[in-house]
């Protein structure tokens, strides 16, 4: 009986294993997701980021290409593709910086559109109405070591991103996704709107 059971299960396990390591399908899913998110006019969404190390925060996000604008109850962030401005409400300070890949991802969960193209190993599994794409950086030194991205099978809109930096996991949940044109002006800090803020240049 046990032998018969193993004979039945073995092909199933092989099938599951092969599906999990299907880089071609994972690439196809990420490319289609990139087309949805990377639409020329931009998109917007609500998000919640949580981790054991940094706690949890929620807000709204607008993106257009590599640019993004994120707003939470504690901070506002503008990124024009090169420079990032972070306004801290509690201190009335604006930090100006050139963010790392990990820093951009902490405020823009859609950065994975391009990150997977930088040499990550890809795998994929199917769970209900979603694909779960796995990105692994292997032994290479990276700011993001590993990621899991949950993507809807029908519309290719991502709903969850889990990423590992060292030993710390962060989870980004995404909701209320809208394909909505975004003006370029919202991705650059306007000092006239915050005349009393202290500008701290960290570049």
Q: How confident is the model at residue 14 (pLDDT cuts 50, 70, 90)?
A: very low
For 140-159, letters b (16+ CB in 10 Å) and e give eebebbbbbbbbbeeebbbb
Specify the pLDDT at position 54.
Answer: 79
Inter-residue contact 174 to 160 (CB < 8 Å): yes
Specify the pLDDT at position 6.
Answer: 36
Q: Is the pLDDT of residue 10 over 50?
A: no
User: Which tens digits make up the pLDDT trace of 34-87?
Assistant: 999 888 999 999 999 898 887 888 999 999 988 999 999 889 999 998 999 999
Give the C-alpha separation, 1 to 134, whole Å: 36
- Coil, helix or strand for 155? coil
Q: Is the pLDDT of residue 119 over 60?
A: yes
Inter-residue contact 94 to 143 (CB < 8 Å): no
Query: What DSSP element (H or E) covers 171?
Result: strand 168-178
Q: What is the mean pLDDT of residues 179-197?
A: 95
Q: Which of 69, 71, 97 is nearest to 84 (CA)?
A: 97
What residue spans define the domains of the chain?
Answer: 15-201
Give the C-alpha separation, 182 to 184, whole Å: 6
Question: In the structure encoding, which two tokens stand for residue 110, read together?
Answer: 């859609």
For 22-50, letters b (16+ CB in 10 Å) and e give beebbeebbeebbebbbeeebbbbebebe
Q: What is the mean pLDDT of residues 80-101?
A: 92
Select from 2.40.440.10, 3.40.50.720, 1.10.10.1200, 2.50.20.10 the CATH code of 15-201.
2.50.20.10
Distance of CA 182 to the CA centre of its chain: 19
Give the C-alpha separation, 52 to 93, whole Å: 26
Specify the pLDDT at position 141.
Answer: 80
Q: What is the mean pLDDT of residues 193-200?
A: 96
């Amino acid at each position: 009986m046990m032998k018969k059971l193993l004979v039945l299960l073995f092909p199933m396990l092989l099938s599951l294993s092969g599906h999990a390591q299907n880089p071609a399908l994972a690439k196809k899913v990420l490319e289609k997701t990139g087309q949805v998110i990377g639409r020329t006019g931009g998109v917007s969404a609500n998000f919640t980021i949580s981790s054991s190390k940094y706690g949890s925060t929620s807000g709204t996000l607008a993106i257009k290409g590599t640019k993004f604008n994120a707003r939470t109850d504690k901070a506002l962030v503008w990124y024009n593709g090169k420079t990032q401005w972070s306004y801290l409400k509690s201190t009335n300070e604006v930090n100006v910086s050139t963010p790392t890949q990990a820093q951009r991802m902490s405020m823009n969960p859609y950065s994975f559109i391009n990150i997977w193209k930088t040499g990550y190993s890809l795998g994929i599994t199917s769970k209900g109405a979603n694909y779960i794409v796995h990105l692994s950086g292997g032994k290479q030194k990276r700011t993001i070591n590993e990621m899991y991205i949950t993507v809807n099978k029908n519309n290719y809109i991502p709903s969850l991103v889990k990423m590992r930096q060292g030993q710390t996991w962060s989870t980004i949940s995404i909701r209320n996704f809208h394909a909505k044109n975004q003006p370029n002006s919202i991705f650059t800090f306007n000092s006239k709107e915050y005349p009393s803020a202290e500008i701290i240049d960290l570049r």
